[in-house]
Structure 1
């Protein structure tokens, strides 16, 4: 039993915070497993409760309850939930049981995450041009290989439509990114609609619910221009501009997360040390 006051406080702080993350991780993991095992029941439940939501929430629910989107989202939730669950489990059980093995494993996980974050930020800063090119390449590939039209939506399509309609932008660099979107053009040709850009790239009708991607100009999807669409405004540049405008908030969030991780590492080793001292005391006496 830890007798040191500081170590005792560290122990219970670790217990509280990791219990919260343990519950969050378990919940995310359960939802992911539910979606994989029986996505039909999940769709029925969410659509039943959809009537009680506002327009913005309805849009998210409706879009993300498409069968293809549900399955793709499920695997992401399982992976994320399992990771959070394992790390929080090590921290909570290690603190409550005063297990040096579990606490050390927990601290090592946090150290690895922290080092990866610092490395990623450092590399992005040192190789900013290469990082920018790689990011553009990955985003363009997602449009080229996975973006579909409005009648064949998947997780990538839903995500891009949300980003473009809310940020008022089009593609990674501009609307030309959709010239290489294989699914988008193949499906449009099959439906004989001749759309060259998605509706999310257009200036939308004002006053419409968030789930209605209705261009103010009916010709926009076939004949986009600078007056009826955002065809020349790339989303990556738009995002970069928003980050620069809110740089203080971004820095605050990053520093806050890093501080929490460092505190978790310090508290874990503090409890480990106290447990070791306590065990040595009992062995001697």
Structure 2
């Protein structure tokens, strides 16, 4: 039996929430794919000794975004069909995802400096190894990173044996530009704000989703018991 009165509004709010949750999952997946395929970071994924902490975090975001999209779709079905089983499963999955998001947020904040340091260390090692060996693979890795970040070397000057890996510039910029360690710091600072904002928004949406799902589930069960 369909729920009525004000609880009917909860049903449609639940459906609207799940649609927003599906969109939120799409946003998480989009941010993760942006980190994975952005020109400024794709070079990190193409090297054999890339920083594992950063790579692991990006792949976790990809999986989490895809899972959120699936759960949001299932939640829409549970709301429309007024199925206590689907609504209960939705609540459990949402609680697990919420707990995982909180844990991931704490982990990310506590390891932010380590992630940035690992990436800078990876770049510095690649840069120094190329100066010593001139290996083509190392040259291509440096070009991907430096062209993506629009930086050059560890000091921002091009008077060394790796100038051929730096972006070509004109005027005084051809001699002095942003160092890559500084560019890496700037990149992570700007993207962390975006990721943090998305995470907070998704957390608020999930809290309301759990409340609505339990209200609707209880209303459906109560209506069936009356009959």
Question: Over aligned residues, Cα RMSD in angstroms?
Answer: 4.7
1:215 to 168, 171, 175: 168
Deviation at 1:228, TM superposition (A): 3.2
Are the equivalent residues in 2 in contact too, given 1:21–1:84 (CA < 8 A)? yes
**Aligned match of 1:228:** 177
**Aligned match of 1:257:** 202
Q: TM-score, normalised by structure 1?
A: 0.47
Higher relative contact order (Cα pairs below 8 Å, separated by 6+ residues)? 2
CA separation in 2, counterparts of 1:179 and 1:259? 43
Is it true that 1:5 corresponds to 2:5 in the alignment?
yes
CA separation in 2, counterparts of 1:122 and 1:81? 18
Are the equivalent residues in 2 in contact too, given 1:90–1:106 (CA < 8 A)? yes
Deviation at 1:187, TM superposition (A): 2.2
Q: Give the match's secondary structure for 2:135.
A: helix
Change (3 A) 1:267 1:238: same
CA separation in 1, counterparts of 2:102 and 2:138? 46
- Per-residue CA deviation, residues 55-78 of structure 1 (Å, 9 max, x unaligned), is xxxxx89xx9xxx9xxxxxx9999
**Aligned match of 2:151:** 201
Is it true that 1:132 corresponds to 2:112 in the alignment?
yes
CA separation in 2, counterparts of 1:113 and 1:266? 15
Deviation at 1:100, TM superposition (A): 0.8
Uncovered stretches (5+) of structure 2, i.e. residues with no partner: 30-37, 47-58, 157-165
CA separation in 2, counterparts of 1:81 and 1:251? 15
Task: Give runs of aligned pairs for residues 11-26 of structure 1, distance below 5 A.
Answer: 11-19=11-19
- Per-residue CA deviation, residues 188-238 of structure 1 (Å, 9 max, x unaligned), is 5799xx97x7333248xxxxxxxxx942159x9xxx97x234245151x32
**Aligned match of 1:178:** 126
Are the equivalent residues in 2 in contact too, given 1:174–1:234 (CA < 8 A)? no
**Aligned match of 1:96:** 80
Aligned residues: 181
CA separation in 2, counterparts of 1:254 and 1:88? 16
Tell me which stretches of 4 or more aligned residues in structure 1 moved more than 4 Å.
19-26, 75-82, 188-191, 239-244, 249-254
**Aligned match of 1:114:** 98
Change (3 A) 1:231 1:256: closer
1:187 to 107, 114, 136: 136
Deviation at 1:11, TM superposition (A): 0.9
Are the equivalent residues in 1 in contact too, given 2:21–2:205 (CA < 8 A)? no
CA separation in 2, counterparts of 1:250 and 1:82? 16
**Aligned match of 1:280:** 225
CA separation in 1, counterparts of 2:5 and 2:187? 47
Uncovered stretches (5+) of structure 1, i.e. residues with no partner: 30-59, 69-74, 141-171, 204-212
Deviation at 1:25, TM superposition (A): 7.5
Judging by fraction of residues, say which structure has more helix.
Answer: 2
CA separation in 2, counterparts of 1:25 and 1:240? 22
Q: TM-score, normalised by structure 2?
A: 0.57
